[in-house]
Structure 1
């Protein structure tokens, strides 16, 4: 599979609407292009309400908006309110477009970005996509430990299972037992 060609951001500020009536996906905001890491590419699974769901290879540092473009754009009428199109993607991540947020949308080995429903407080906090602020709301996790979790995620390419949380500096058996039911990969 071939990675999408780099986009001239000025000339392509917005994707044209395809003839099939699919919704526009805004292009990346002006700024430096994504930095290509040592591996050069990531692979993501884009599913849901997109024109070409499936596995897509993108440059390291690609964002959710890049994955949506690689999947041919979002279908008309899809609500993207809960989808952060500016978020940087990680290898192995799944992006579900137009699915309700929460436990029913979680799957795969990477983090899940959902668009379509509102946020759900009942669902587990994703170790692969949560911000320091979101992790800080978990019991027994303060800003320092939340940063350790994010640093571990960055250094290891994400969490493949909740059990990897045990490897984070500052998480012992008791804290892990408290967090395990509240988090997901």
Structure 2
């Protein structure tokens, strides 16, 4: 009789252990991932960009944007363009790059005839670039492709990094272009 009681007690203990293990497994299966793991995944998916927005905007200065942001986002973060901004000279659809300086030109200087006659390598169209001596359709396309791939030029001398522009071409262009 004592043996029967031990077998029943041992059997009950086994059933309790199996029940506890099964209960723990079900509880772990329905619990969401810990918040720390979710936060790490979200943080790695988003990269912050710092862009220095200057010129004809309401609040010039550095703005922080998310990866994939466009010029329109940077301008909006700087409070938008002022009434005298030359809005047509800025490509609002272009993607911004971390560390770039974005200058929104003041249109009132152009309206007053204060044009310096230089071609902006950061905003000129293919047709405007082709007005420069020695720049044809292929080279204007190469300049625009370089600008699209690498962001705006930060120095006129960077033109030498564009395939097809060597020292001789650069010396001709230096006095004809601006950022």
Runs of 5+ consecutive residues of structure 2 not aligned to the other structure: 1-44
- Where does residue 61 of structure 2 map in the other structure? 54
Q: In the alignment, does 2:127 pair up with 1:127?
A: no
Contact kept, 8 Å, 1:47 with 1:53, in 2: the verdict is yes
Contact kept, 8 Å, 2:81 with 2:87, in 1: the verdict is no
Contact kept, 8 Å, 2:85 with 2:108, in 1: the verdict is no
The TM-score normalised by the length of structure 1 is 0.56
Change (3 A) 1:97 1:125: closer
Q: In the alignment, does 2:86 pair up with 1:86?
A: no
Q: Output aligned runs, 1:1-185, within 5 Å.
A: 40-74=47-81, 78-83=83-88, 84=90, 86-91=92-97, 92-96=100-104, 98=106, 100-101=108-109, 117=111, 121-185=115-179
Q: CA RMSD in A?
A: 3.2
Contact kept, 8 Å, 2:84 with 2:107, in 1: the verdict is no
Write the distance in 1 (CA, Å) between the matches of 2:78 and 2:169: 40
Q: How many residues align?
A: 132
1:180 shift after superposition = 0.8
Runs of 5+ consecutive residues of structure 1 not aligned to the other structure: 1-37, 103-116
Write the distance in 2 (CA, Å) between the matches of 1:119 and 1:148: 30
Write the distance in 2 (CA, Å) between the matches of 1:60 and 1:157: 14
The TM-score normalised by the length of structure 2 is 0.57
Write the distance in 1 (CA, Å) between the matches of 2:139 and 2:91: 27
Contact kept, 8 Å, 1:82 with 1:118, in 2: the verdict is no
Q: Deviations over 1:155-185 (max 9, x none)?
A: 3333221222122211122211111111123
Contact kept, 8 Å, 1:101 with 1:120, in 2: the verdict is yes
- Where does residue 30 of structure 1 map in the other structure? none
Change (3 A) 1:47 1:39: same
